[in-house]
Amino acid sequence: MKLFFLSLLFIFSGNTFAQDPLPAWNDGPSKKAIIRFVQETTRAGSSQFISKEERIAVFDNDGTLWSEQPIYVQLAFAIDRIKTLAPQNPQWKTQQPFKAVLENDIQTVKASGHKGLFELIAATHAGMSTEAFQAIVSEWLKTARHPVTNRPYTEMVYQPMLELLAYLKSNGYTNYIVSGGGTEFMRPWTQKAYGIPPERIIGSAIKSKFVEVNGQYRIIGLPELEWINDGSNKPLAIQHQIGRRPVIAFGNSDGDQDMLLWTTGAPEPRLAGIIHHTDGAREVAYDRQSAIGKLNTALDLAPKNNWLVVDMKKDWRSIFPAIQPK
Amino acid sequence: MKLFFLSLLFIFSGNTFAQDPLPAWNDGPSKKAIIRFVQETTRAGSSQFISKEERIAVFDNDGTLWSEQPIYVQLAFAIDRIKTLAPQNPQWKTQQPFKAVLENDIQTVKASGHKGLFELIAATHAGMSTEAFQAIVSEWLKTARHPVTNRPYTEMVYQPMLELLAYLKSNGYTNYIVSGGGTEFMRPWTQKAYGIPPERIIGSAIKSKFVEVNGQYRIIGLPELEWINDGSNKPLAIQHQIGRRPVIAFGNSDGDQDMLLWTTGAPEPRLAGIIHHTDGAREVAYDRQSAIGKLNTALDLAPKNNWLVVDMKKDWRSIFPAIQPK
């Protein structure tokens, strides 16, 4: 019997001391603030207690949960897709921005601006059913590789953020993605990569129509934008789809600023964080001048709003998950 | 010890025999079909088994979960609100459709068509924050009474449908409302009335904007329609917000037809039902000719698509919940 109690003691003390919910985070102010906030909002009797139903955490995706450099993954997908479809579209050889894509002239693609990018999206995302589009995305992810690391894109996710998502989930928080990326582009892989199911993906969307073809019903994407989920549209989409003000929000760019302001502007306890890309050695260092993931005004607003600024170089022990054995 | 086992036996057999998950449903084909479907889709090893994540059930609201006669509850709200706001808007005395509202001339209100109805919605739903609007709805529901039964509107819900929602929930289904009614009009009361939280309400919406006033952030409704959640927009909204094809769908009018077609058009096991308002004594009998909740083409499509047609008169033992003791 004595051995039994000793074993119990060992088990409990083992749990207490060994269990670090965020091992890829260095011990520092960011990690401390996150853990303190989660403990205080979930401990029964705490003055900061938040009920389980209200524990909503929202996360930007590109640059917050996975890498967005050197170009957005969704743009890399569209470029590959244009190349795949080129044989059936011979006119693209002379037609911009398709010509630039086929010639790997990324500068001209970027210079084509919103109009050019939208033409690429329309040619690669519309005109098919949601199921067909998602199947294409899934197939592409199996073989596509990041141009710098040669990793599958789904292994370009940030290990510390995977841990944060799991930590929040295990504490009764419900995680949502609120991204400028396309909702249907993300849905095929976010459950496996992040543990976030399709119904918790809030992103940009093209218009669609409901059609019947030979007795089969389909939702078909149209070459027209429905919603660009960036800037002030992020809090609006959160209200539209969730209907609760988030308790926790993480982003990395000025496009996330309004989502963070909406979150921490609430009277109750709130936590917001900015992932600051400071690590040029292990990832890419960029902020105020970057064309992708520009972080300028949101960085200035951080101190006054008590937003954590997560310094990737200092705060993160590792950036990407260990390479999976094949 | 023998008594202990006898007690156990009593407890288990008691549970097995006494437990009717749908006591307000008469024993008949509708009830049988529902129970058989739920059992087969949730029993491990069943050829019709559906994983918990995929168990999505969608419900229309007006006429499916609560009464929509003699007018939609949301229109009754708008009318009462116009009367409340009339002293601050003296011009309404001579301006249609407001004049008709103030004179209780419902025929003229209806004759003002979509344009007139939209003016009423704009005057009563826009120009304030979501929180302020929801507070007004909550206050109104405390005192508003149904014109025929004199019950609070939240007691004009259908007891058999409350049981169905609870039965599905207890079997791992996730219930959503997919209604033509306003999302923000429903959110203040659906958790209490149906056990369906704000993030599972998919309805119509006005546009909104994100604004800062004196350091406070607000989402303000605009007098412009964003989304009318009816007809073919229902499957589109389901895809947009849930991203899964429903397994179960219930509606009561032609506006639900596409949602039901989308649901039962899937290759896997599916269940759809139409609530047919056949009971002129206990509620209101209406279908093919009704201005509200018209059920015509969807009724014709039911047999060929194997949709249940729930006959309120025959299938439902009771319509509304027992009056709550005050």
Q: Are A139 and A147 in contact (CB under 8 A)?
A: no
Yes or no, beta carbons of A241 and B199 under 8 Å apart: yes
Note the residue count of chain A. 326
pLDDT at A16 exceeding the cut of 50: no
Q: What tokens were used for B152? A: 């609070």
Read off the pLDDT of each residue in B92-105 and give the average, rounded to a whole number.
Answer: 95
Mean pLDDT (whole number) for A214-227? 95
**Best to test chain B binding among A209, A210, A256 (most B CBs inside 10 Å):** A210
Q: Is residue B131 part of a domain?
A: yes
Specify the amino acid at residue B87. Answer: P
Structure confidence at residue A326 as a pLDDT band (50, 70, 90): low
* B14 belongs to a structural domain: no
Res B15: pLDDT: 45
Kindly give, in sequence order, each residue whose CB lies less than 8 Å from that of residue B20, ignoring residues fewer than 6 positions away. none
Is residue B9 included in any domain, yes or no? no
Can you say how many angstroms the Cα of residue B200 is from the centroid of all Cα atoms in its chain?
12
Determine contact, residues A36/A273, Cβ cutoff 8 Å. no
Residue B119: inside a domain: yes
A58 touches chain B (CB under 8 A): no
User: What CATH code is carried by the domain that includes residue A136?
Assistant: 3.40.50.1000
Residue from A58, A240, A247 to probe the interface with B (highest B Cβ count within 10 Å): A240
A272 touches chain B (CB under 8 A): no
Q: Strand order in B201-213's β-sheet?
A: B216-227, B201-213, B174-182, B56-59, B248-251, B271-276, B308-311
With a cut of 70, say whether residue A10 has pLDDT above it. Answer: no
Q: pLDDT band at residue B326, thresholds of 50, 70 and 90?
A: low
Asked if residue A76 belongs to a domain, the reply is yes
pLDDT given for residue A9 in this prediction: 45
Arithmetic mean of pLDDT, B182-198: 98
Averaged pLDDT, B116-140 = 95
How far is the C-alpha of B41 from the C-alpha of B250, rounded, in Å? 17
DSSP assignment of A192-226? HHHS--GGGEEEEEEEEEEEEETTEEEEEEEEEEE
Q: Which residue of B has its CA nearest to A260?
A: B217
Contact by Cβ (8 Å): B124, B136: no
Inform me whether the pLDDT recorded for B13 exceeds 80.
no
Quick one: tokens of A302? 């951080």
- Report the domain count for chain B: 1
From the list B216, B242, B243, which residue is nearest A265 (CB)?
Answer: B216
Question: What residues of B are in contact with residue A197 (Cβ under 8 Å)?
Answer: 53
Cβ contact (<8 Å) for B219 and A236? Answer: yes
* A292-295, Cβ contacts within 8 angstroms, sequence gap of 24 or more: A292/A63, A292/A68, A292/A69, A292/A70, A292/A71, A292/A72, A293/A62, A293/A63, A293/A68, A293/A69, A293/A252, A293/A253, A294/A253, A294/A254, A295/A252, A295/A253, A295/A254
Residue B68 pLDDT level (bands cut at 50, 70, 90): very high
Residue B66: is its pLDDT beyond 90?
A: yes
| Residue A8, domain member (yes or no) | no
Distance from CA of A168 to the nearest CA of B (A): 19
Tell me, yes or no, whether B196 lies in a domain. yes
Sequence-distant (6+) residues with CB within 8 A of B151 are B145, B320, B323
pLDDT bucket at B111, cuts 50 / 70 / 90: confident
Tell me the residue range of the domain where B58 lies.
35-315
pLDDT tens by residue, B239-262: 999 999 999 999 999 999 999 999
Q: pLDDT, tens digit, for every residue of B301-323?
A: 999 999 999 999 999 999 999 98
pLDDT, residue A56, reads 98
**Could you give the C-alpha distances from B325 to B24, B228, B321, in angstroms and in order?**
19, 38, 12
pTM for the whole thing? Answer: 0.93
* Count of beta carbons in the 10 Å neighbourhood of residue B138: 12
Average pLDDT over residues B99-116: 90
Complex prediction ipTM: 0.93
Reply yes or no on whether the pLDDT at B290 is more than 80: yes
> Torsion angle, CA of A100/A102/A106/A110, rounded to 10 degrees?
50
- pLDDT bracket for residue B325 (50, 70, 90): low
Place of tokens 């004049």: B99
Rounded Cα–Cα distance for residues A324 and A302 (Å): 36
Strands A308-311 and B56-59: unpaired
Single-letter amino acid code for the residue at B275? I
B265-283 average pLDDT score: 97
**Would you call B210 an interface residue with chain A, using a CB distance cutoff of 8 Å?**
yes
Task: Report residue A6's pLDDT band, with 50, 70 and 90 as the boundaries.
Answer: very low
What's the CA dihedral at A66, A72, A77, A80 to 10 degrees?
Answer: -130
**What is the structure's pLDDT at A15?**
45
Hey, is the C-beta of B87 within 8 angstroms of any chain A C-beta?
A: no
Identify the band that residue A112 occupies on the pLDDT scale cut at 50, 70 and 90: confident
Q: Would you say residue B320 lies in a domain?
A: no
H-helix or E-strand spanning residue B58: strand B56-59
> In the structure, what pLDDT confidence band is assigned to residue B12 with cuts at 50, 70 and 90?
very low
Which pLDDT score, from 0 to 100, does residue A19 have? 86
**Which residue is it, tokens 């979930």?**
A42
User: pLDDT (tens digit, 9 = 90+) per residue, A223-280?
Assistant: 999 999 999 999 999 999 999 999 999 999 999 999 999 999 999 999 999 999 999 9
Q: What is the pLDDT of residues A21-58, one digit of tens each?
A: 999 999 999 999 999 999 999 999 999 999 999 999 99
